[in-house]
Amino acid sequence: MENQTKIEIPVMADLYARGDNPEYLFWVGCAGAFDDRYKKVARAFTKILTHLSVSYAVLGKEETCTGDPARRAGNEMLYQMQAFANIETFTRYNVKKILTICPHCYNIFKNEYTDLGGHYEVVFYTQFLQNLMAEGKLKLNSDIFKDKKITFHDSCYLGRANGEYESPRAILKAIPSEKIEMKRNKSFALCCGGGGGQMFKEAEPGCKEIYMERTEEALETGANIITTTCPFCMVMITDGIKYKNKEEEVFNYDIAELVAMALDI
């Protein structure tokens, strides 16, 4: 379903060399850069930015990890090394506004870089798109999903950590389709099982994986599409769908992908 139209991605160093200063730094993130599945999400969002003529750029090869996984795993020194390196890069390019597609990147830039002197206007992409919808610049009246049932899984780092529950739902509401909530949602939503460094360690003893519990809740809604807004959540939910042998009938898409498909870009 993905449109393979090629687009030119502006790189911060190139624009800076020409004397240009884009309004937003689009922070791609480790998953958007290296994970084959989440590369599609990063590609979808850049298509949206280009389609809407947003002034933005990426760091390209100058982008490194935020340090979030290191801090969550207990390596504070590595976190601070990575954070200070990023802050230096942001200062060099006079970065004021940061767009993210990962709640973990969003959370650490917004709430934790400030302790190290990094103060920025950090915007999660669903908030950004909701604002454009409110301004009438983004319209999602495509009927591509009109016969689909969609349920949304709240990311811990977007939801409980930052109180952002409405912007993803506002975007989904604008896409003609049937929406249905899981029995645990918003502040009561169950974690996918990948946050807090759990993504990178072996499972602990127990009778059921967290991602299986959450996937079962999603499947109970009867949805054809389970939407997410986080690379960790996407990995976990996708694994759950495969484990349940439902990959031929239930699909996991990021909201950015749904928007790009609705815009046919």
Query: Do 12-131 and 139-263 have matching folds?
Result: yes
The CA distance from 260 to 265, in Å, is 6
Is the pLDDT assigned to residue 200 strictly greater than 90?
A: no
Please name the helix (run of DSSP H) or strand (run of DSSP E) that holds residue 98, with its range, or none. strand 97-100
Spatial neighbors of 245 by CB under 8 A, at least 6 apart, are none
- CA separation (Å) from 98 to 26, 40, 168, 226, 243? 6, 20, 18, 27, 36
Beta-strand ranges (E) seen in 108-240 are 121-124, 149-152, 178-179, 225-228
The CA distance from 222 to 114, in Å, is 42
Considering the four listed CATH numbers 3.40.30, 1.10.150, 1.20.1270, 3.40.50, the one that applies to the domain covering 12-131 is: 3.40.50
Angle made by CA atoms 201, 204, 209, in degrees to the nearest 5? 95
Average pLDDT over residues 27-51: 97
Is the model more confident about 81 or about 73? 81
Is the pLDDT assigned to residue 207 strictly greater than 90?
A: no
Q: What is the pLDDT of residue 193?
A: 87
Is the pLDDT assigned to residue 2 strictly greater than 60?
A: no
Please name the helix (run of DSSP H) or strand (run of DSSP E) that holds residue 13, with its range, or none. helix 12-17
Using DSSP's 3-state secondary structure scheme, residue 251 falls into strand
pTM of the predicted structure, to 2 decimals: 0.94
Give percent above pLDDT 70 in the chain.
95
Give percent above pLDDT 90 in the chain.
89
Using DSSP's 3-state secondary structure scheme, residue 149 falls into strand
* pLDDT tens-digit map of 251-261: 999 999 999 99
Is the pLDDT assigned to residue 198 strictly greater than 70?
A: no
- Say if residue 155 is exposed, middle or buried (CB neighbours under 10 Å; 0-12, 13-18, 19+): buried
Q: What is the pLDDT of residue 196?
A: 67
The domain made up of 139-263 has a fold known as: Rossmann fold (3.40.50)
Q: What is the pLDDT of residue 167?
A: 98
Domain locations in the chain as residue ranges: 12-131, 139-263
Q: Nearest Cα to 121, choosing from 142, 148, 94?
A: 94
